[in-house]
Amino acid sequence: MSTYYQPTKYPASTFESMTATDDALPVVVVGAGPVGMGVALGLAQRGIPVTVLEAADQVSFGSRAICISRHSLEVAARLGFGAELEKIVLPWVGGRSLYRDRQVLHFQMRNADHDVRPPMINVSQSEFEQIMVDTIEANPLITLHWAASIAGVLRSDDEVTLEVDTVDGKRHLRARWVVAADGGRSRMRELAGIRMQGNNYDGRYVIADIHWESELPAERTVWFDPPSNPGSTIIMHKQPRNIWRIDYQLDASEDAEFETQEDRIRDRITRHLEWLRNDLPWTLEWHGFYSARALALEDFTHGRILFAGDAAHLVPIFGVRGLNSGMEDAETLAWQLAAVVNGKANPDLLQSYSVERHDAWRQNIANAGKSTLIMSPGSHGYRTTRDAILALSVTRPEFSHLINPRQSSATNARLSPLTWPSPAELSGVAPGDPVEDRRVVADDGGETSLNVLRGTGFAVLGVNVDATALASATGALAGALAPESVRAILIGSDSASASVAVVPDADGGVVAALGARDGEVFVIRPDGVLLCRIDGVDRIDDVVRHLILGDAPAGASVTVDNGPAIDPAESRRENVWMGLSDALDQVSETDREGFLTRLALVLGSQVGRREFEEAVAAATDLALTVPADEKAGATVGG
């Protein structure tokens, strides 16, 4: 019997139009998806009433986004629904890719003892959203209207009037600020007359959920050119309650309308499961269609309308960055908009949201774009090199890193106007980087975590500083930012304090992870991003001025750091892959073989005879012969 999740349906909401004498609502959020509800929860957490408008009468149906990152779980915990979410999820730590029936990649994400949560979990977007709705319904500061779609928008300097279609006819709501989080087909974006810019990719995928009681492990499994569906790419993910997500690519010659009919979907899935030696019954529960896009608005702030999530930017599905980046949008926008609404910051602060989240989109595209060129190469050059990489990886594992899906990880805000740069010689966490949660031992000997200690607001983390001075500085910051919470954490001391959380850090793990020096102070934003590293608590006054103005301190300069160093050999192979792909796309179709021959002669003349002969041997098909007795079922199941 299927246990596929069926979301609750809600009655259409009824409400009256606002009159000219009514005070405008502080914030209206358009869209009750994960991003819109995340913004609403973050604002309500800071005492701001929020009205949410949702055109549908239920949360989304189907799995849609299923892979939730560790960072998004941290966001969920801070927004108040993480504990309920973690009760129903299925954790996983890695995956495998196969070329035909040979494994060419096995990857593992970081899952250290100090990590509070798994690197990735699977759960349907429908269930994710339902838990958020349940949390919102218990919050007296949030009003959620179902079956209320936007029909018109009228903007002025100090407010926005929304025309809303309801079951009782048109209604009008006035708001000081509107958050447009109404998805990739955003009605708010259409009414505002703005368009996204970027790229559409050629790859098209059918998405299906099946109920299948298989014992295969919970991991990301990908088959390139599998014998079950030659020429295609198939992705499989296990979800809770024996639901499996299967994505498979359509060839450019295949008709999408025909291939998305249920009998065709069942046929494709049946062929693959039979190839996996499946003898268990299964049922098709839901299906959809997807094409990859990398698009974004140039600016996420348009007067008093603020765009977030898919309404602001779209990323390819590969690497699961859509929902995860949207949750980052939600948490960042919530605390910054709350500071403006509460009169604690200049409205210019919201431009910081636009700058840093647009840059986060670029970071996601840099990785998702490479994944897409492997999963759905859209040109002859990239198809040729992708197939060559897969073939080589069977016997030359050094090429397999190019197949890595580059799973979603938290983006940085190093280029944000808010980020206060530190000297280049400092190691560890840089300003603008996310400060990950980690298990720590408190001064009473009990186990806790950094996120539990720092709460949902700002944190001032001092390393071997005076506890009284740290408490005083934290109090000054709290007074300036109230009602935003601010907590003090003292690292490297075993002296208990009433107003400061103490982490003895006997093994030095926290100090090492931060790259901290004695006397250094770390100021962490509510969204877990490091605002600044300063020498001593006496510079907190500079931090206060910095936040109120919404820009970096005078004289500060941003040093662009692209993150951890990449292995030179891996970087060289990546450059060769992309450079060769682009070159193949530029040469005449009739000269491709000649171009590759000339290239081989030039490169071969630069190495010794032995190295050249080894390269020729690696490039032949002989190394790819599959023993007749080697079956895919053993490879996949083992």
* One domain, residues 451 and 468: yes
Q: What pLDDT is attached to residue 131? A: 98
CA distances from 388 to 160, 318, 393, 621 (A): 55, 20, 8, 11
Average pLDDT over residues 576-602: 95
Q: How many residues are present in the chain?
A: 638
For residue 235, list its beta bridge partners. Answer: 222, 247
Q: Classify 90 as helix, strand or coil.
A: strand
Residue 586 lies inside a defined structural domain of this protein: yes
In a domain, 362, yes or no: no
The predicted pLDDT at position 240 comes to 96
- State CA 561 to chain mean position distance: 20
pLDDT category at 465 given cuts 50, 70, 90 is very high
Q: How far apart are CA 65 and CA 441, in angstroms?
A: 35
Write down the pLDDT at residue 621.
60
Instruction: Measure the N-to-C terminal CA separation of the chain; round to a whole number of Å.
Output: 28
Q: Say if CB 159 and CB 175 are below 8 A apart.
A: yes
Any bridge partners for residue 439, and if so which?
449
The stretches of 48-102 forming alpha helices (DSSP H) are 70-79, 82-86
Same domain for 626 and 509: no
> Cα separation of 53 and 224, whole Å?
42
Q: How many CB atoms lie within 10 A of CB 522?
A: 22
Please tell me the predicted confidence (pLDDT) of residue 496: 67
The pLDDT score that the predictor gives to residue 634 is 38
User: Is residue 379 assigned to a domain?
Assistant: yes
pLDDT in tens, 363-422: 988 888 888 889 888 889 999 999 999 999 998 999 999 998 887 778 999 999 999 887
According to DSSP, residue 622 is labeled G
Report pLDDT for 549. Answer: 64
Q: Which of 509, 458, 514 is nearest to 488 (CA)?
A: 458
pLDDT digits (tens, 9 = 90+) for 103-130: 999 999 999 999 999 999 999 999 999 9
Token pair in block for residue 459: 């944190």
User: 325: exposed, middle or buried (C-beta count within 10 Å: 0-12, 13-18, 19+)?
Assistant: buried
| 283-328: pLDDT as tens digits | 999 999 988 888 999 999 999 999 999 999 998 877 677 899 999 9
How many Cα atoms sit within 13 Å of 138 on the Cβ side?
A: 7
Q: Clarify whether residues 67 and 179 are in a common domain.
A: yes
pLDDT at 372: 84
Closest by alpha carbon to 235, among 123, 95, 108? Answer: 95
CATH number, domain containing residue 214: 3.30.9.10
Same domain, 143 and 222: no
Closest CA to 616 of 386, 383, 389, 392: 392
CATH number of the domain residue 470 falls in: 3.40.30.120
| C-alpha to C-alpha distances, 504 to 438, 447, 460, 511, nearest whole angstrom | 14, 12, 16, 10
Residue 569 class from Cβ within 10 Å (0-12 exposed, 13-18 middle, 19+ buried)? exposed
Instruction: Render pLDDT for 345-356 as a digit per residue (tens, 0 to 9).
Output: 989 899 999 999
Tell me which range, 10-14, 401-405, 407-411, 537-541, is most confidently predicted by mean pLDDT: 10-14
500 shares its domain with 522 = yes
Residue keyed to tokens 């102070």:
521
User: Per-residue pLDDT tens for 72-82?
Assistant: 999 999 999 99
> 282 pairs with which residues across the strands?
212
Name which of 1-10, 42-51, 124-133, 143-152 the model is least confident about: 1-10
567/446: higher pLDDT: 446
Residues 188 and 87 placed together within one structural domain of the fold = yes
Contact 309, 183 (CB under 8 A): yes
Parallel, antiparallel, or unpaired: how do β-strands 94-99 and 220-224 relate?
parallel
Residues 460 and 499 in one domain: yes
> pLDDT digit string (tens) for 379-392?
899 999 999 999 99
- 452 and 352 part of one domain: no
pLDDT at 230: 92
Using alpha carbons only, how large is the chain's radius of gyration in Å?
A: 26
Same-domain status, 191 and 221: no
Phi and psi dihedrals of 591, rounded to 5?
-115, 15
Examine the domain organization and report whether 505 and 603 are in the same domain. Answer: no
* Domain count for the chain: 4
- Residues 382, 579: Cα–Cα separation, whole Å: 10
Q: Report whether 64 contacts 161 (CB < 8 A).
A: no
pLDDT tens across 546-558, in order?
787 665 554 444 4
Q: Are residues 299 and 189 in the same domain?
A: yes
> Are 15 and 107 a contacting pair, CB within 8 Å?
no
Instruction: Say how far residue 533 (Cα) sits from the centre of its chain.
Output: 26
Could you tell me if residue 17 is inside a domain? no
Q: Is the dihedral of CA 334, 337, 341, 343 positive or negative?
A: positive
Give the pLDDT confidence of 170-204 residue by residue, as tens digits.
Answer: 999 999 999 999 999 999 999 999 999 998 776 78
110 found inside a domain: no
Average pLDDT, the chain: 91
Measured at the CA of 293, the angle between CA 291 and CA 297, to 5 degrees, comes to 145
Question: Do residues 485 and 626 share a domain?
Answer: no
Helix ranges (H only) for 313-417 are 322-341, 349-375, 380-395
Q: Is residue 478 part of a domain?
A: yes
Residue 164: inside a domain, yes or no?
yes
Domain boundary among 246, 273, 292: 292
Q: What is the pLDDT of residue 552?
A: 53
Separation between Cα atoms, residue 595 and residue 604, nearest integer Å: 14
Task: Tell the burial category of 334 from Cβ atoms under 10 Å away from its Cβ (0-12, 13-18, 19+).
Answer: buried
Q: Which of 69, 62, 183 is nearest to 130 (CA)?
A: 62
Range of the domain at 496: 439-549
3-class SS at 212? Answer: strand
Indicate whether 443 belongs to any domain: yes
What whole-number distance in Å separates Cα of residue 545 and Cα of residue 480?
9
End position of a domain, from candidates 292, 326, 341: 292
